[in-house]
Structure 1
Amino acid sequence: MSPAATEETTERVLVRAPWRTVTSREILVKITDRSFVLSTVLTTVMLIAAVALSAFLSARTSTYTVATAEEAVATVADTAAEAIEAGGDELELLAAGSAQEVRDAVGGGEADAGLVRTGEGYVLVGDDEIPGALQGAMTQAVRDAVLAENAAAAGSSLAELEAGSELAVQLLNEDSGQNVAAQVLGFVFAFLFYMAAIMFGMTIANSVLEEKQNRVVEILATAIPVRQLLYGKVLGNSILAFAQIALYAVVGLVAVNAAGLAQDIGWMVGASGWFIAFFAVGFLALAAVWAVLGSLASRAEDLQSNTGPIIVVIMAVLFVGLFATGPLLTAASFVPVMSSVAMPVRLLAGDVALWQPIVSLLLTGAAAYLMVRGGERIYQRAVMQGGTALSWRQALRLES
């Protein structure tokens, strides 16, 4: 293709979709900004380091306490000490007066597990989880003890020798382990949305204000429709925010899996995928508001004062993600923007019907569309006005 033809093609693209040029420029400026690149790399490294530290701490020597109520049962439990010590850990026995006291000791945190004997065999009692090493050692100890008892009773077959040697595992609070992980992941969702909304939002507002103060927007407006400037800025920064959050999500999940901190991360992947989708749509809605705030201001001091309401909204999203439960969390999961964190947090529990996140995402998408189109009306009027700060009502009264 000749240079003339290439230039003609480029001009045709600019005429048809000038927002693409603005979007590309916004992305290029940001990814060549040293502070942005360094902060992204630093956050990624810190995320990997946090996972590595958790893996290191979980691999440290542990002392397991096992509660028992009978001397014979304590003897069986004590035989597991050798297997526990072979793995670099230690085993301590806690004497209890009855099977119920054993369960109370486990539920109260005094013991990591309890070994009781019932008419059907041995039961290893745990609270929210039983460490794999402890469970394996106790299983083998019970098996050896039962085989010895059956052999002493002159069992004549392997089936008789192994009768009753299967160890039943009973967790008093089965879902607690996943619930703790869900709470941590919910905090991560809320914090990432808060940080991205503030950081990229201020970038959009400051960019609009700078172009307005330098009168660059007046030059650009002669070649590009003003609304296309808005679309490009909003879309460019939304893509960057989306890419950054996706990067953190992938790195975090891979690191957790590689470190062996989660045996089953399927539920995390599903919730994280929904969070990324909700984040993209929710941030798009906020980005339009940030751009409008930049166009209403005439100097940095104006911008600092008129961003108060949107920061309150973002703070509300953060607190809902951190502290809301029950009906309040359910209601918030259908409120546009707030649902960007509330619905993924609900999905971490795994008991949400599929139609709910779909409906919530559609509502957020509709709100984002309305906010972009409404923001477009104000942006076109306010961004060309200099000298004084404008209110939303004053901007709407201006001619476009």
Structure 2
Amino acid sequence: MNANLKRTVRQTLTIARRDFIATVFTPIFLLFLFAPVIMGSFGAIGGMGAASVADGASDKVRVVAIVTREQARPIAEADARLRGMFRDEEAPPQLLTLAPAADPAKQARRAFDGKDYDASAVLYGPLDHPRILYGPRGSRAADYLTLLAGETLTAERLGVALPKIVPTKIALVRQRASASGQHQSAFFAVFGIFFLTLFLSGQVVGTMAEERNNKVIEVLAAAVPLESVFLGKLLGMFGVALLFVGFWGTVVGQVSTLLPPPAAAAIGELAPAVGGPMFALLFGAYFTMAYLLLGSVFLGVGAQASTMREIQMLSLPITILQVGMFALSSAAASRPDSWVAKLAEIFPLSSPFAMAGHAANSPALWPHVAALAWQLLWVAIFISVGARLFRRGVLQSGSAKPWWRRAKAN
């Protein structure tokens, strides 16, 4: 390593350490670190409120069967047998049986106006040709009443109770990941990188604009090459992001051990094609590339903007572009061999997301070497372009106006 390269590395790391310390060792960083708790608390409060309203409404919902006294017990027994096939959150509304009045059709219509319960669907008439009325969201309840009528009629015609089957259930452990498990792993990988970069990379944009306003950047640019300043700031903010991810990764890892068995089994189905340890390494590598790519773009934006309003105006199109890259990569994750997947894997800003999904869908490792090199090249390009725009647009002219304002003035 020659002297110039050593000096460049030392200068870059100095800038990175300076920005890392200036960000982490402040009280505001604690608010940033615990921001997920604050957002999660508001979300939990809203969710519990909505759930309580939904539960209160669902407690009064019923499916109604207008049947004779002789049929009331068989249909209740059939309901008990069929209801055992559903999960609690998927089960149909509770069954309510009513004795038929003089006009069952009118009685069925009046059932929807009852104050003690909310009828979702009402059955009346003979069980072999029943009539079923249902409300706007009662189509599935009507289907359940149809099945219930058939089950009851079968038991009646047999004259005896239906035989109770006691199966022997054997849990099977897959020897290899299923296709659906790979697709789910791919989607969660894409979403995880998208969420982390969207949440963490936005702080990069304000660092350059802040130091440009207080004239610190001119001092740094006089002593250190602008490329080293840009890369150092990017690495410093990436260190902050790693601290954030490490903290919350540890917390989530401890909480995941307390998950109930069904949730743990569902997570166990998320089996990437390259294997768990290799997938974790590739996820970390692609998160790094996604952060550096987006962060370098944000740095360039921050270098051109001189006020927070301009930063917000320029950051919005980048965020919209990032959401578009997430949509493109999600489509690629569900169709790994399509042209959409190839486009997402090649385009620089979507490549980290798409290649993380590729790792879940394909066991081949060599494409990741090429992809990481390709993404690293674009990080260098974005940093170089951002530094040149800042050097030519701000420092060389001695003007604080960004390039679009000067172009308009000319």
TM range (shorter): 0.5 to 0.7
Matched, 1:263 2:271: no
Q: Amino acid of the residue matched to residue 383 of structure 2?
A: V
- Distance in 2 separating the partners of 1:50 and 1:300: 28
The Cα shift of 1:280 comes to: 0.7
Q: How does 1:1-400 map to 2 (within 5 A)?
A: 17-44=10-37, 167=168, 186-197=190-201, 199-203=202-206, 207-260=207-260, 261-263=263-265, 265=267, 267=270, 270=276, 271=279, 273-307=281-315, 309-321=317-329, 325-326=334-335, 327=338, 329-330=340-341, 331-347=343-359, 350-355=360-365, 356-385=367-396, 386-391=398-403
Aligned length: 319
Are 1:335 and 1:360, in contact at CA under 8 Å, matched by a contact in 2? no
Are 1:282 and 1:340, in contact at CA under 8 Å, matched by a contact in 2? yes
Give TM-score scaled by structure 1 length. 0.56
- Distance in 2 separating the partners of 1:317 and 1:15: 33
1:105 corresponds to which residue? none
In structure 1, stretches of 5+ residues that fail to align are: 1-12, 61-73, 98-107, 115-144, 147-163, 396-400
- Measured against aligned partners, the alpha-carbon deviations of 1:95-114 in whole angstroms (never above 9, x if no partner) come to x99xxxxxxxxxx8978xx9
- Distance in 2 separating the partners of 1:15 and 1:351: 40
- Measured against aligned partners, the alpha-carbon deviations of 1:259-279 in whole angstroms (never above 9, x if no partner) come to 232226464794555333212
Are 2:183 and 2:361, in contact at CA under 8 Å, matched by a contact in 1? no
How high is the sequence identity, in percent, across the aligned residues?
21
The Cα shift of 1:357 comes to: 3.7
The Cα shift of 1:78 comes to: 7.5
Query: Secondary structure in 2 aligned to 1:263?
Result: helix
The Cα shift of 1:48 comes to: 9.9
Are 1:335 and 1:364, in contact at CA under 8 Å, matched by a contact in 2? no
- Distance in 2 separating the partners of 1:15 and 1:362: 21
- Distance in 2 separating the partners of 1:366 and 1:80: 60
- Distance in 2 separating the partners of 1:225 and 1:370: 16
- Distance in 1 separating the partners of 2:22 and 2:253: 29
Residues 290 and 179 from structure 1, CA distance in 2 versus in 1: closer, same or farther, beyond 3 angstroms? closer
- Measured against aligned partners, the alpha-carbon deviations of 1:310-367 in whole angstroms (never above 9, x if no partner) come to 33422322333556642365131332221222333454xx432323444333322222
Q: Amino acid of the residue matched to residue 344 of structure 2?
A: A
Residues 328 and 185 from structure 1, CA distance in 2 versus in 1: closer, same or farther, beyond 3 angstroms? same
Give TM-score scaled by structure 2 length. 0.55
Query: Secondary structure in 2 aligned to 1:337?
Result: coil
The Cα shift of 1:237 comes to: 0.9
Are 1:282 and 1:337, in contact at CA under 8 Å, matched by a contact in 2? yes
